[in-house]
Amino acid sequence: MNQQLVTLEQQKIEVKEEFAMAVAERGRQKTWVLARGNPQLQGEEVNPSFPQILGDPEANIPEGYGNGNQTTGKRRVLAEWIASPKNPMTAKVMANRMWQHHFGRGIVRSSNNFGFLGDEPTHPELLNWLAAELIEGGWTLKRMHKLIMMSRTYQMSSTGQTAGLKADPNNDLLWRFDMRRLAAEEIRDSILNLTGQLNLKMGGPSIYTEIPAEVARTASRPGAAWGRSSKEDAARRSVYIFVKRSLHEPFLASFDWADTDNTCDVRFVTTVPTQTLTMLNSKFLNDSAEVLATRLQGNSQNISEQVSRAIELATSRPATDADISDGVKLINTFQQGGMDANQALQRFCLLVLNLNEFVYLD
């Protein structure tokens, strides 16, 4: 045994270490106001406190919160103050963000600004109630999502009415549901899910999608601008896509992907020709149409059943007789134009991926 220990000690073992940028406290350090920013000119001693405009400014740190020279407990006190029922602003901001996620806009339109210069809430009592529900429910977001989506307001039709459009054209009173286009990440994830390719693996490093060579050449270092992921990893959710400041993922960028250089409280939804061209001509969409066609052929060889299944997968509703009739007619037209059965079905699947009913929440 001793000889084995000596042998092991003589061996050089290479250990790959991973490093991360972090901030740590240095124990109970005092802080002073520095006159003109000069560290040699110490003024009045400064103690931890909160903004007066948000409530009680004093921050009392219990003795048991500290841990020697490793932590002072200040961060714990700050975290408890942020999530305290006595500080309802946190819950209001969170509830407003959740409402914005489902309705496309918040009860307070200026999601990053609840101050005097921001927009007033359209339904202040509703926002207060949602904030109270969030706190009483133990800050459980899943419960709040269910609460909002089960409401009559969320389940309203988007169909307009003459009287309503005249009295409230901006729908500030929420008398109907505002049709909302899916966000860039939602569109990509929905396509992957529809075709059966979506990889729901959680966590791990960022992934790289397949991008055109022309896009890669626009980077400052074309050869090292973008990595390559396996086919399985590339089909993971869009939240895991690598973010590069000088090179945005082309498909996501076409659909108003958020600029990661700045805070983005609300994404502005645009409707431009490049979006249609991307949905019709991009390699990602055409490859996805091919995969969807293969999926449909695996379920049935009957054209009517394939059309019905495609509509059901894309819209989450049963296909109508008119849907099936139009789909079969289109496939037959493609075949009469010289396409074989596989090509015709793929072109129909590309059409399904371009349906407004698939890209928009109505």
Q: Is 176 exposed, middle or buried (0-12, 13-18, 19+ CB in 10 A)?
A: middle
pLDDT, tens digit (0-9, with 9 covering 90-100), for 203-219: 999 999 998 888 888 77
pLDDT number for residue 22: 78
Joined together, the tokens standing for residue 295 give 């999926």
Q: Which residues of the chain have pLDDT under 50?
A: none
pLDDT number for residue 27: 62
Please tell me the distance from the alpha carbon of residue 227 to that of residue 218, in angstroms, as a whole number.
15
| 357 in Cβ contact with 315 (< 8 Å) | yes
Compute how many other C-beta atoms are within 10 angstroms of the C-beta atom of residue 292.
27
Beta-strand relationship, 42-46 and 180-181: unpaired
Compute how many other C-beta atoms are within 10 angstroms of the C-beta atom of residue 161.
11
Please tell me the distance from the alpha carbon of residue 45 to that of residue 13, in angstroms, as a whole number.
50
Residue 347 gets the label, from left (phi > 0), alpha (psi -120 to 50) or beta, of alpha
Name which of 316, 361, 314, 359 is nearest 184 in CA terms. 359
Joined together, the tokens standing for residue 248 give 């945005």
Please tell me the distance from the alpha carbon of residue 131 to that of residue 148, in angstroms, as a whole number.
12
Joined together, the tokens standing for residue 152 give 């009559």
pLDDT number for residue 39: 85
Name which of 288, 275, 276 is nearest 235 in CA terms. 288
Residues 6+ apart with CB under 8 A from 139: 83, 91
